[in-house]
């Protein structure tokens, strides 16, 4: 934790004062800005660059009750070699699975350089005792997870108990050891943009390596507007402390067009330093197939179809 | 003299059950047979074509999986709706093709009759085209026709409505979904047909109607890897050849252009052009003296 924030986190009331002292979000302006950045036309070589970059930023995700070791292995194989017909296709950044599948995923990606991320802390609801959450994290890390995606306690956050949220993130960060920590706010449940800004700052001050929009399990997931807001937060945080933090929108990004819009947001808001899989990720599963189809279209000039990519 | 404001109609594409403008924002002027302006029609781009294929693919599962009986009912409903908007189609066909009102009315009547005729075929084609095959072994061997998939239809250039219905109805009757490129010069009846389809229980995406330059829209569709067949009726010889070459890449089924008299009895060849035969072999055990073992 940057020492600059020691006084902020000294007590419940100082933290509250700090969070409520953050500038309010102009919702209309934010959405208009996100929408206007979404109108950029990205074509030809820029598009090819964006597609490859987006593929390399994907956390290829499967978080279903029905996940089997076979499905996780298939996902791992796809992450390592997304398009078997074109070996020049970049690898995805990571595969993202439940903790009990980490070992399977780790074996599947081998030494390819693809990371294994695991959701933990009683994902997706986060409604469990802190010991259970920490146990969840430790098991995932022990199984070899390179990255941990935790959920914040939205109940505590919405009740105004910011200190609990802060301390839980700190505890999880400690349990992570060398694994990078992504903190999921579940923006769809935070109701307001002001809350998303506050949650972002709690996460950043508490030592998150990434701040992440959502679990993908609720109605509203990543939107251009809430991602833009979080990108502003990491930009401001670096300006203030020199510490760079990553952003991961997750859920609901399904088309190449959407992904490219997000990349424009990154470039125009946080800056080109974030245009790297170390600092920006997409939590997605079906997005990869669309990116691959667009990539095939650019390579061959013909529109591709779902028959030419794997069924996940 | 009426003091009403003229209410001009904005013709739009019909894609995925919705009425979008062209993604490109372009339109072109449609004139009647005497060169007087009738309306602007959307000048669809290859991206509209791509969107239409996505919509058609999405609709394919539901439409091909619906019972043949249900498809027949839905198509009959289209005929009911066409009947109700007959005057509009007569006017549009007359303006476009420069024929008399009675000739146009005859064409529209024939088109509605044809639609009903194809609606009747939905639950009969399997009996006619499929059936049990006599095989030399203890097997029950059954062939059944199944829809090919997403079919691109290059609609006839001259017969703006009867021709359109004659090529579209057989494609969807058997459970395919269609991306139709309307007649380049006479696109308005096709766009109005989209409005009829939208109000007659045909699921969105089963029929997608594009207007614009036939060659510009057909080329990406012929090369599209997710299109399973193409009907080249409205393509001239040069374009048809080019499209067939592109279509060969993923082995699309191709119906080549041929001289058609749309007023004549259509026969079943358009129904059967976009069907695939699936055959199942089922072991029956030995056939004893008493005959069948099943």
pLDDT at site B267:
93
In angstroms and rounded to an integer, the radius of gyration of the C-alpha atoms of chain A is: 19
A301: contact with B, CB 8 A cutoff: yes
Over 70: is that where the pLDDT of A298 sits?
yes
Number of domains chain A is built from: 1
Averaged pLDDT score across all residues of chain A: 95
The model's pTM is 0.90
| B268 secondary structure, DSSP code | S
Please compute the mean of the pLDDT values over residues A9-38 and round it to a whole number. 96
pLDDT at site B293:
52
Please compute the mean of the pLDDT values over residues B55-80 and round it to a whole number. 97
Over 70: is that where the pLDDT of A174 sits?
yes
Which domain does A71 fall in, by range? 3-308
pLDDT at site A131:
96
What is the CATH classification number for the domain harbouring A226?
3.20.20.70
Neighbouring CB atoms inside 10 A of A122's CB total 18
pLDDT at site B221:
98
pLDDT at site B292:
58
A304: contact with B, CB 8 A cutoff: yes
CB contact under 8 A, A302 and B224: yes
pLDDT, one tens digit per residue, over A102-117 is: 999 999 999 999 999 9
pLDDT, one tens digit per residue, over B260-278 is: 999 999 999 999 999 999 9
Cα dihedral value A265, A271, A273, A279, nearest 10: -30
Neighbouring CB atoms inside 10 A of B23's CB total 17
> Mean pLDDT lowest for which of A165-174, A253-262, B105-114, B278-287?
B278-287
Nearest CA in chain B to A307: B226
| Banded model confidence at residue B2, pLDDT cuts 50, 70, 90 | confident
3-state SS class at A54: helix
Over 60: is that where the pLDDT of A2 sits?
no
Over 90: is that where the pLDDT of A261 sits?
yes
On the CB side of A304, how many CA atoms lie within 13 Å of its CA?
Answer: 19
pLDDT at site B294:
52
A87: contact with B, CB 8 A cutoff: no
Distance from CA of B227 to the nearest CA of A (A): 8
CA–CA dist A70, B288 (Å, integer) = 46
Q: Which of A302, A309, A311 to mutate to test the interface with B (most CBs of B within 10 A)?
A: A302
Please compute the mean of the pLDDT values over residues B211-215 and round it to a whole number. 97
CB contact under 8 A, A305 and B57: yes
Over 90: is that where the pLDDT of A3 sits?
no
Over 80: is that where the pLDDT of B289 sits?
no
Over 60: is that where the pLDDT of A1 sits?
no
Distance from CA of A160 to the nearest CA of B (A): 45
Nearest CA in chain B to A308: B225
In angstroms and rounded to an integer, the radius of gyration of the C-alpha atoms of chain B is: 21
3-state helix, strand, coil in chain A (%, to 5): 50, 10, 35
The answer to whether A204 and A237 have CB atoms below 8 angstroms apart is yes
| Domain covering B27-283, topology | Aldehyde Dehydrogenase; Chain A, domain 1 (3.40.605)
Q: Which residue has the higher pLDDT, A56 or B290?
A: A56
CB contact under 8 A, B220 and A308: no
**Which candidate from A303, A307, A308 shows the least CB-CB separation from B53?**
A303
CA–CA dist A292, B263 (Å, integer) = 47
Q: Which residue has the higher pLDDT, B290 or A129?
A: A129
Catalytic positions of A are 149, 212, 248
**Which candidate from B220, B226, B249 shows the least CB-CB separation from A305?**
B226
pLDDT at site B290:
61
Domains in chain B: boundaries: 27-283
Q: Which pairs with CB-CB distance under 8 Å and at least 24 residues apart come from B20-25? A: B20/B48, B20/B51, B22/B48, B22/B212, B23/B47, B23/B48, B23/B51, B24/B48
Task: Determine what percent of chain A is predicted with pLDDT higher than 90.
Answer: 96
């Amino acid at each position: 934790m940057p020492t600059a924030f020691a006084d902020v986190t000294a007590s419940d009331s100082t933290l509250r004062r700090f969070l409520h002292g953050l500038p309010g979000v102009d919702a209309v302006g934010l959405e208009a800005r996100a929408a206007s950045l979404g109108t950029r036309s990205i074509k030809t070589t820029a598009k090819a660059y964006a597609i490859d970059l987006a593929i390399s930023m994907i956390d290829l995700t499967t978080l279903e009750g029905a996940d089997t070791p076979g499905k996780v292995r298939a996902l791992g194989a796809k992450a390592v070699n997304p398009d078997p017909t074109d070996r020049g296709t970049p690898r995805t950044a990571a595969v993202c699975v439940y903790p009990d599948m980490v070992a399977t995923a780790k074996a599947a990606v081998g030494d390819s350089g693809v990371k294994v991320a695991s959701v933990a802390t009683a994902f997706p609801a986060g409604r469990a005792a802190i010991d259970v959450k920490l146990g969840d994290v430790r098991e995932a890390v022990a199984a070899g997870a390179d990255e941990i995606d935790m959920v914040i306690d939205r109940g505590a956050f919405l009740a105004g108990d910011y200190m609990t949220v802060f301390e839980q993130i700190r505890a999880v960060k400690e349990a992570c050891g060398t694994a990078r920590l992504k903190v999921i706010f579940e923006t769809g449940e935070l109701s307001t943009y002001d809350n998303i800004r506050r949650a972002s700052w709690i996460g950043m001050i508490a030592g998150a390596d990434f701040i992440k929009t959502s679990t993908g399990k609720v109605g509203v997931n990543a939107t251009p507007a809430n991602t833009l807001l979080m990108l502003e937060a990491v930009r401001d945080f670096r300006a203030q402390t020199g510490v760079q933090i990553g952003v991961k929108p997750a859920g609901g990004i399904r088309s190449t067009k959407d992904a490219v819009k997000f990349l424009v947001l990154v470039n125009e808001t946080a800056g080109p330093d974030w245009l790297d899989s170390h600092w920006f990720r997409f939590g997605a599963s079906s997005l990869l197939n669309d990116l691959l189809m667009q990539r095939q279209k650019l390579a061959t000039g013909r529109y591709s179809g779902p028959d030419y990519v794997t069924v996940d | 003299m009426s003091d009403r404001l003229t209410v001009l109609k904005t013709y739009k594409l019909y894609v995925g059950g919705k009425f979008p403008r062209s993604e490109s924002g372009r339109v072109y002027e449609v004139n009647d047979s005497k060169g007087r302006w009738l309306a602007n029609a959307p000048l669809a781009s290859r991206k509209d074509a791509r969107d239409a294929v996505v919509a058609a693919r999405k609709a394919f599962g539901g439409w091909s999986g619906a019972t043949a009986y249900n498809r027949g009912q839905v198509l009959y409903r289209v005929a009911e709706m066409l009947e109700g908007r007959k005057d509009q189609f007569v006017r549009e066909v007359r303006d476009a093709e420069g024929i008399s009102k009675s000739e146009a009315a005859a064409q529209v009547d024939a088109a509605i009759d044809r639609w009903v005729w194809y609606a009747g075929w939905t639950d009969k084609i399997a009996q006619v085209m499929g059936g049990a095959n006599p095989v030399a072994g203890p097997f029950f061997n059954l062939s059944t026709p199944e829809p090919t998939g997403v079919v691109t239809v290059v609609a006839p250039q001259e017969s703006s409505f009867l021709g359109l219905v004659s090529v579209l109805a057989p494609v969807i009757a058997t459970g395919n979904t269609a991306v139709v490129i309307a007649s380049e010069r006479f696109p308005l009846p096709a766009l109005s047909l989209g409005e009829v389809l939208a109000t007659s229980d045909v699921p969105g995406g089963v029929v997608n109607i594009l207007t614009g330059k036939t060659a510009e829209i057909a080329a990406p569709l012929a090369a599209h890897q997710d299109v399973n067949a193409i009907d080249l009726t409205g393509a001239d010889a040069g374009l048809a050849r080019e499209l067939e070459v592109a279509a060969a890449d993923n082995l699309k089924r191709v119906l080549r252009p041929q001289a058609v008299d749309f007023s004549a009895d259509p026969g079943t060849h358009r129904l059967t052009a976009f069907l695939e035969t699936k055959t199942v072999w089922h072991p029956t055990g030995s056939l004893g003296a008493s005959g069948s073992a099943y």
